[in-house]
A and B are shown apart, each in its own frame.
Chain A
Amino acid sequence: NAGVTQTPKFRVLKTGQSMTLLCAQDMNHEYMYWYRQDPGMGLRLIHYSVGEGTTAKGEVPDGYNVSRLKKQNFLLGLESAAPSQTSVYFCASSSIDREQYFGPGTRLTVT
């Protein structure tokens, strides 16, 4: 039982490049989330999903897209990376009305 896993762990992009972050969970959770963590700002919700095939915008969705084609996977895409997207990205999952379980994070640097 791996819990929540994220791929990759680190990535460096040049401005304008694109990439996809993959999140996978093996706990059969309905809800999945993408957050970014910046110093002194806690966690900010980018997008979330309440079930397979559904996604919704969170607090800071601009510049990101997501897809949830399978219940266990939640993908976060950056179409044209900007330096402001340098951050640590965390994926999480939860059952309905329960605590969230987090992945180990992806550290992204955009130069």
Chain B
Amino acid sequence: GEDVEQSLFLSVREGDSSVINCTYTDSSSTYLYWYKQEPGAGLQLLTYIFSNMDMKQDQRLTVLLNKKDKHLSLRIADTQTGDSAIYFCAESTGGFKTIFGAGTRLFVKA
């Protein structure tokens, strides 16, 4: 069945770039999402990419999609302490169903 996998932890220094990786199994995915969850809060959509795109840039965020390898990454430039959170990768084939990864906890050291 469909699955989304991510590493559980990432630690970076303030000012460095962070790269969070994700792999998925469903080749018919239409949308791929990155959500951010801050402590005690729900998930908030950070950015998304359509499956017919290779890259999307939004201010400090860059999303790269390798459809052949079913690999998605999120790069955060100039990482700040406020970026410390859990980041979830998710895939959707359209309609109602979205599959979420387990989340990557990003620690930013000052």
A residues engaging B (CB < 8 A)? 4, 31, 33, 40-43, 48, 50, 90, 92, 94, 96-97, 99-105
Contact: B45 with A90, CB < 8 Å?
no
Beta-carbon contact of A97 and B102 below 8 Å: no
Evaluate contact between A50 and B96: CB separation under 8 angstroms: yes
Which residues of A sit under 8 angstroms from B100, Cβ to Cβ? 42-43
Are B42 and A97 closer than 8 Å at their CB atoms?
Answer: no
Interchain Cβ contacts within 8 Å, total number: 46
In contact, B43 and A102 (Cβ under 8 angstroms): yes
Pairs A-B, 4 closest by C-beta atoms: A102-B42, A42-B102, A43-B100, A102-B43
Nearest-Cβ distance from residue B23 to partner chain A, whole angstroms: 14
User: Are B8 and A104 in contact, with the CB atoms below 8 A?
Assistant: no
Q: Does B33 contact A (CB under 8 A)?
A: yes
Q: How far is the CA of A104 from the CA of B40 in the complex (A)?
A: 7
Check B95 for interface membership: any CB of A closer than 8 A: yes
Count of chain B residues with Cβ under 8 Å from any Cβ of A?
22
Chain B residues 55 to 80 lying within 8 A of chain A, measured CB to CB, are none
Pairwise interchain contact A42-B101, C-beta atoms closer than 8 A: yes
Residues of A within 8 A of B102 (CB): 40-42
Does B94 sit at the interface, judged by CB under 8 A?
yes
Asked, given contacts A104-B42, A105-B42, whether A48 binds B96 with beta carbons under 8 Å apart, the answer is: yes
> By the criterion CB–CB under 8 Å, are A99 and B42 in contact?
no
Q: List 19 A-B contacts (CB under 8 A).
A: A4-B42, A33-B96, A40-B102, A42-B4, A42-B100, A42-B101, A42-B103, A43-B100, A90-B42, A92-B42, A97-B30, A97-B94, A100-B45, A101-B45, A102-B35, A102-B42, A103-B42, A105-B40, A105-B42
